[in-house]
Amino acid sequence: MVELRTPAQIEEMRAAGAFVREVLDTVAASAEVGVDLLDLDALAHKMIKERGATSCYIDYHPSFGAMPFGKVICTSVNDAVLHGLPHAYRLQDGDLLTLDFACSVDGWVADAATSLVVGTARPEDLELIETSRRALDAAIEQARPGNRMGDISAAIGGVAREAGLKVNLQFGGHGVGRTMHEDPHVPNDGRAGRGLKLRPGLVLALEPWFLHTTDELVMDPDGWTLRSADGSRGAHSEHTVAITEDGPLVLTA
């Protein structure tokens, strides 16, 4: 069921969005060569505890997960692009790292993701990250009353195709509110003018993610981390966006 939030509720969601942004920025600034992924997770965990927030990940156990996630932030490295389970790994020079984080503050959830390069960057990695960000910007621009869900999806897919990238439709954006994953699903490609009509009060996590040379994923033995089928690297950008009478409001900006 698709739920719409009142303007007052959207105002209440700002605190969750601001905190998610704070955690992502702090963890990203700490992601240096030699830092362990488990230390990044511990930092996010500490911030959650100090804020009195609630992790959306630690007990999360959907049908595709082998067990409860058990950590509080996704850390996907290089050819891993989604649901990276933090483990004992020290970041190396040139690693492409994606951080994905969601939590609940005062009963409201926000969700966001960012990709970055640790140390020396490969130009093609920076280009892939920038493409995911441009796709996110294009999606946000379409998140307006009167548009259709297909307008958001088509905007993402259009940026991908212009960059010569394939789009995977297994995992995409979603509604967000009292829980992390709510209706509706937001595919990362589609046809403009089709699908659910966008109305004020709809809050969506929009999250284009791309791989360099494939759209196929394989699951790690950890039962969570999703990697490219051909070993190519991935990038992922995400914001929580509220659709208002005045247009899109990015709660995790």
Let me know if residue 92 belongs to a domain.
Answer: yes
Residue 208: cis peptide before it, omega within 30 degrees of 0: no
pLDDT at 53 over 90: yes
pLDDT at 20 over 90: yes
* pLDDT score for 246: 96
Could you give phi then psi for residue 213, rounded to 5 degrees?
Answer: -135, 10
Across the range 232-242, mean pLDDT stands at: 98
> What domain range is 158 assigned to?
7-250
Per the CB < 8 A criterion, the answer to whether 96 and 132 are in contact is no
Binding residue ranges: 83, 100, 111, 174, 181, 207, 238
Instruction: Give the global pTM.
Output: 0.97
- The pair of structure tokens assigned to 205 is 């996590």
R_g over Cα of the chain: 17
Binding residue ranges for a divalent metal cation: 100, 111, 174, 207, 238
Let me know if residue 120 belongs to a domain.
Answer: yes
Kindly state the percentage of the chain with pLDDT values over 70. Answer: 100
* pLDDT score for 64: 85
Binding residue ranges for substrate: 83, 181
Confidence of residue 157 (pLDDT cuts 50, 70, 90): very high
User: What total number of domains does the chain contain?
Assistant: 1
Closest by CA to 226, choosing from 125, 81, 113, is 81
Let me know if residue 1 belongs to a domain.
Answer: no
Let me know if residue 243 belongs to a domain.
Answer: yes
pLDDT at 173 over 90: yes
Kindly state the percentage of the chain with pLDDT values over 90. Answer: 98
CATH of the domain at 38: 3.90.230.10
Let me know if residue 235 belongs to a domain.
Answer: yes
The Cα-based distances of 140 to 70, 72, 117, 134 in angstroms read 31, 26, 24, 10
* pLDDT score for 45: 98
* pLDDT score for 239: 98
- How far out from the chain centre does Cα 114 lie? 7
Tell me the C-alpha distance between 68 and 60, whole Å.
Answer: 5
- The pair of structure tokens assigned to 184 is 């509706």
* pLDDT score for 66: 87
* pLDDT score for 248: 98
Confidence of residue 46 (pLDDT cuts 50, 70, 90): very high
Q: Which amino acid does the sequence have at 226? A: L
Let me know if residue 2 belongs to a domain.
Answer: no
- List pLDDT tens digits, range 67-119: 999 999 999 999 999 999 999 999 999 999 999 999 999 999 999 999 999 99
pLDDT at 63 over 90: no
Let me know if residue 63 belongs to a domain.
Answer: yes
Per the prediction, the chain carries an average pLDDT of: 97
| Lookup result for tokens 């960059």 | 163
- How far out from the chain centre does Cα 159 lie? 17
Confidence of residue 42 (pLDDT cuts 50, 70, 90): very high
* pLDDT score for 187: 98
